[in-house]
Chain A
Amino acid sequence: MSARVPGYRGPEVPVEVWEQHEMRTALASREISAVYRLLRKHGVSQRQIAAMTGQSQSEVSEILRGRQVTAYDLLRDIADGLGVPRGYMGLAYDEATAIRVVSPFDDEQVEDDERVRREFLAHAAEVTMGAAVNGPEQFPDDEGILEKPQVGLSGVSSAPAPRRPVAQASKQAIGWVSRVLPTVDRERYLEECLGELDDLAQSRHPLRVQLSYVLGLASRVLALRFALRGSDAETWEQAG
């Protein structure tokens, strides 16, 4: 995957190729194997495909022989590398905010749960212990952080993309954390925080930002409890 030459776009695939019915069908169902075969038909060599997508030639040839591509990151790299509009593959790109993941296919959701759990825990370890448990490539740019606040986006939603669900693990964590809060306030903060998590789930690195959020919340939940109970708010304020 690292063979990709920065800035290299390879031979431009004529736009009309992406518009053909067969191609659109293959893209929509994310049959990368079929996509590559169609490209070959249009005279694009394996080597050229590899150069465009940043894959190795052997990977391309495996895919041509039928290997399935399901990993979101790879699909995204392939779409971007080939210059396919992301929407054609159900990978929407929203410039106003961040990259949103649109997953019209249920099977991805199934795969998601297990993976989410694993990555979430791995990243938790990374954050809390300062060690890259799963290798640094798992969470590439820790600076990407929080995408711009999605202010006034309600107007954009005329053709709403399906929203990515909040990771189960985040929900659970928020549930635990909220137990520290006074009972009367618990529901409100659960709703408020889950709403914010839902926002974060739409970001480019949903797991990472959700995790930072949950950790941040957990680290301040006692302060929140004090603030809500009010009685010792003053002394707490002094202590900061």
Chain B
Amino acid sequence: MTMPTLLVLYVLIEDPDREMYGLQICQTAGLPSGTIHPILARLEKTGWLTSRWEEIDTREEGRPRRRYYRLNPNSLAKVRAALHRAEPAVKALGQFRPGRAGGVS
């Protein structure tokens, strides 16, 4: 699992019942603007996420409807387990020091 994906899951697991739209998740996770949709799409394909269109009268609200995402309640255990597995990697990341050009990859 990639780091951006982890960040997205961290954001969503914080309040698993909460629905959020893409831009909101992206900003909360601190990811670069516009880069979140592949992650969401992949998680949705895997079944960890579900999404739906917001039900509003766009005329009345004066804005387009949003696409809302939330964790699939049936996948919560899997998501938690995945985050748990990723913990060592996340911790290790905290120990990186800026190094030579070319870095750590």
Contact = CB atoms under 8 A, between A and B. Distances in A.
Please indicate whether A and B come from the same complex rather than being unrelated chains.
Answer: yes
B22 A217 contact: no
Interface stretch (A3-11, A114-122, A226-234): A226-234
Contacts of B37: 189, 192-193, 217, 220, 224
Contact of A213 (B24, B33, B66): B33
Given A194-B64, A198-B63, A233 B2 contact: no
A219 interface: yes
A227 B24 CA distance: 20
Interface string A135-174: 0000000000110111100100100101100000000000
Interface range for A: 35 or more
A237 B43 CA distance: 11
Nearest to B56: A154
Interface string A195-238: 11011100000000100111111111001101110100100010
Given A149-B23, A151-B24, A196-B21, A226 B62 contact: no
* Of B22, B35, B61, most A-chain CB atoms within 10 Å: B35
B28 interface: yes
Interface string B41-80: 1100100000000001000011111110000000000000
A214 B34 contact: yes
A192 B22 contact: yes
Contact of A195 (B1, B41, B45, B64): B64
A217 B42 CA distance: 15
Contacts of A148: 27
* Of B33, B56, B61, most A-chain CB atoms within 10 Å: B33
Contacts of B32: 212, 216
B21 A163 contact: no
A222 to B, nearest CB: 8
A169 B99 CA distance: 40
Contact of B38 (A150, A199, A223, A230): A223
B67 A192 contact: yes
Nearest to A224: B38
A240 interface: yes
Given A149-B27, A151-B24, A160-B62, A195 B67 contact: yes
B35 A216 contact: yes
Nearest to A189: B37
Contacts of B33: 145-146, 200, 209, 212-213, 216
7 contacts: A145-B33, A157-B61, A195-B66, A216-B32, A227-B39, A227-B45, A233-B42
Interface of B: 1-2, 21-24, 27-28, 32-35, 37-39, 41-42, 45, 56, 61-67
Interface of A: 145-146, 148-151, 154, 157, 160, 162-163, 188-189, 191-196, 198-200, 209, 212-220, 223-224, 226-228, 230, 233, 237, 240
